[in-house]
Every structure is written in structure tokens, then in C-alpha cells.
Structure 1
């Protein structure tokens, strides 16, 4: 089925988007945030937005469908944590989502040498999507509150180091001579 006539946009994430996403979140995303941190979807979105270096909202026909971003794990080594929480509408518009997600993954990568996070091992759709984007998924291990299994996923970017260091080291302090 072709998805014609869909108006797609990406805007800077705003706390006002949390309600639309949190109220309609995919079951797999709800289960994941609850298992990992015991948070409601609204709490997880609020936390993720506050901790992110940059975050965006994906809109379809001006309705928030997903919020995604990247937070700093370690700014000195340029390691970031990518994340995305979405609604059930992603599944309806999956072709549009796939096309856009590859572009935005590369945009998030610009300031990082390594992107790393975890995914619920029960979330087969997200695992396939992450592999399709080019992430490596590692063996599952118990990270959830009740021992739920999660997989670390990561992607390396060797071109990033020279791009990220200038934003961190504007003027290093080496001490004054003499």
C-alpha cells in the first residue's frame, strides 16, 4: 500500500509534545521504559528531553508521532546515547519512518564518535530497525528491574573525533608561561 498525501515534518522537541507521545506510546516502548527504569512514558520522555544534547519530534500531518534524540554519555570521549519513543502511528507509516530515520541517525552522529544505548530484548521490531540502521547489537544481559533482558547496541563513527573536539576544547588551559 502506498502512503500518499502524508505531510511529514521534524521539529525541535518541545515539552508540549510529551502528552501526545506518552498517551499513545507503542506497547513495546512502554514495556521497555517500565522495565528499565520503572518510569511511565511521560516520565521517560521528560527525563530524556532534559538529558539530551539535542532532541526532535517527528510529525505526521502536524501530529507528534515520535520523539528522538541523543544525550551525552561522555563528552570527553564523544560518546552519546541515542533514543526514540514513538506512537502506534509509526507502524502505519513505517516506510516514511524508515526513510527518515536513516537520515536523522546520521544527523545525530555528527558530534559523536560512538553512539550506544540499550534495547529491550523482547522488542524485536526495534532490534531489527537498529540493525537496519547499522548498529551492532550485543548478547542480551539482565538489566531490567525484574531481570528483564536488554541488549547493548552501538555504532562507531571514526570521522567524528575532529568534529567534536573543537566544541569541547575552545581554549584549553595549559598554565601561564614563566
Structure 2
């Protein structure tokens, strides 16, 4: 099972040393951001952020950016370490309960996913997100899927 803990500077440094290639490609296609820029922007947003660890090893940093204090909608995001693919079972065991806990705080979650990232799209579908048809998006105009999930 994975542990979900508050993000520390050590988690950030570890993630930047082992970030997944599909995430790097997505940052660039969406906004021409480096991994450090994308992670910094994600962590600076108003909202919640966590690290998922398995046996003390970082799997990912994820969170929800809240647009304003007046809304319960959020932009969900996740940046994965390469070892998440090797420890996928440990990660998947806790995904649904963690998402349920997030949905107890946010009524609607959404974001965009690079259409080239098939593994992420399958995972989002498994979690029950609605995946919309791919359309040009971001700085590179590549196909991205808008995805969303609401409680209720």
C-alpha cells in the first residue's frame, strides 16, 4: 500500500531526478514548461498537494488546484516518478480511496491529458473520469483529452 503524505522539499528533489518521460512531454506540449517549472507552478497553486510513497520511495506528487475560495471545483494533477510504473500495483490499490477522499472536498475535478499518454488515459478511465474526445490544446496544439469527474 502507498502512503499519502504532505509534500516535502526532499520529495520535490527526488521527483525532479526521476520524472516520467510522458509527463515531461506533456508539460512541454501543453505550455512549453520544463519539469521544474511545471512542478513549481503546480505546488504554488492554491489548493491541496500530497506525495504518494511506497515503502518510503516516492511514486508521485499530486494535488488539486482550486480556482478560488468560492468554488469547490478543482484542477487535479499528478506528476509521476519513473518507479510508479514498476510499483503500479501498490499505487493502484490506494487510488480509488484517495480519489474518494479528494471528492469529499471538491465537487468537480478536471484537467487535460496528452492523447499520447495511453497509460494515463486508461488509469483515468479506471478511476471513473469521463474522457472527452481529443482536440488541439496547449502551446504545441497537440491532441489532448479534457477529463472530468464530479461527485454525486
TM (normalized to structure 2)?
A: 0.93
Bigger relative CO (Cα 8 Å, ≥ 6 apart): 2
d(CA) in 1 for partners of 2:126 and 2:11? Answer: 27
Root mean square deviation of aligned Cα: 1.5
The match for 2:50 is 56
Whether 2:118 is the aligned partner of 1:138: answer: no
Question: How many residues are aligned here?
Answer: 152
Q: 1:23-74: per-residue Cα shift (whole Å, max 9, x none)?
A: 2111111101111111111211111111041111111232222001111135
Larger radius of gyration: 1
Q: Which runs of 5+ in 1 are unaligned?
A: 1-6, 159-178
Find the partner of 1:40 among 25, 34, 48.
34
Find the partner of 1:19 among 13, 16, 19.
13
Contact 1:69–1:108 under 8 Å retained in 2? no
Structure 1 segment 78-89 matched on structure 2, within 5 A: 78-89=72-83
d(CA) in 2 for partners of 1:120 and 1:107? Answer: 25
d(CA) in 2 for partners of 1:74 and 1:140? Answer: 27
